[in-house]
Amino acid sequence: SQKDKSGDDDLAALLKKAYTQAGTPLPFLAPVHRLDRNTSGLILLAKTSEMAGQLTEWLKDKDIQRSYLALVKGDPGEQGRYEFPLRKNEKSNEVFVDPKGDEAITEFRRLQKLGNSALVSVRLLTGRSHQIRVHFAHAGHALIGDKKYAKKPWSEIFHRPALHSAEITLPDGKKFSAAPPVDFLELLKKLGGNVSNL
């Protein structure tokens, strides 16, 4: 989503190049929130600095709703809410639950129980780095494929954290949605899940 140590183009730079090649150069384009590198799905970008400010304000005021799909270890229950404060170690790019950390709130609802795993719908009420991944791991339900926060064999079942940004709803009710990619759907099928209603 944003520049990192790799020096590779970020999402805004890649999109600007694509628009320029199509003959519609964009003078301004900026993400207003982040997705972890291997998370699929939706991300909001602003085409003006004014809109970037407005979207950032709406996010801060929790007026924008963001929903994710995640495949997790075990069964976290029918629904729940995690409120573990989080602290980030910038050097290691790892996030920890810490009583002195920043407020972090995640709500979830189980969509499918899959034997020893589950498909959950997750709603972010705050937007901390690695929030969903760390909250579920701390609760004993790490995301499948998460090399950083899940233990073996769960970390090795999938090539990335099984997390997809599925829906974003703006304050006026306008809703954007993205179907999960093929790799996520194939994992869900492999785990015995139903992909027909996603």
Question: Considering only 4-18, 58-72, 132-146, 147-161, which range has the smallest mean pLDDT?
Answer: 4-18
Q: Is the CB of residue 119 less than 8 Å from the CB of residue 108?
A: no
Q: How many CB atoms lie within 10 A of CB 61?
A: 9
Q: Is the pLDDT of residue 12 over 80?
A: no
H or E element in which residue 86 lies = strand 86-89
**Average pLDDT in the 112-138 region?**
95
Q: How far apart are CA 180 and CA 161, in angstroms?
A: 13
Q: Is the pLDDT of residue 20 over 90?
A: no
From the list 36, 75, 102, 183, the catalytic residue is: 36
Burial level of 117, CB count in 10 A (0-12/13-18/19+)? Answer: buried
- Catalytic annotation on 75? no
Q: Is the pLDDT of residue 87 over 80?
A: yes
Q: Is the CB of residue 33 less than 8 Å from the CB of residue 63?
A: no
> pTM higher than 0.85 for the full model?
yes
**Average pLDDT in the 4-11 region?**
68
DSSP state of 180: P
Q: What is the pLDDT of residue 68?
A: 97
Q: How far apart are CA 105 and CA 36, in angstroms?
A: 18
Q: Is the CB of residue 65 less than 8 Å from the CB of residue 105?
A: no
Q: Is the pLDDT of residue 60 over 90?
A: no
104 closest CA partner among 155, 139, 151: 139
Q: How far apart are CA 147 and CA 141, in angstroms?
A: 14
pLDDT band at 21 (very low <50, low <70, confident <90, very high): confident
pLDDT band at 6 (very low <50, low <70, confident <90, very high): low
Q: Is the pLDDT of residue 171 over 70?
A: yes
Q: How far apart are CA 17 and CA 25, in angstroms?
A: 8
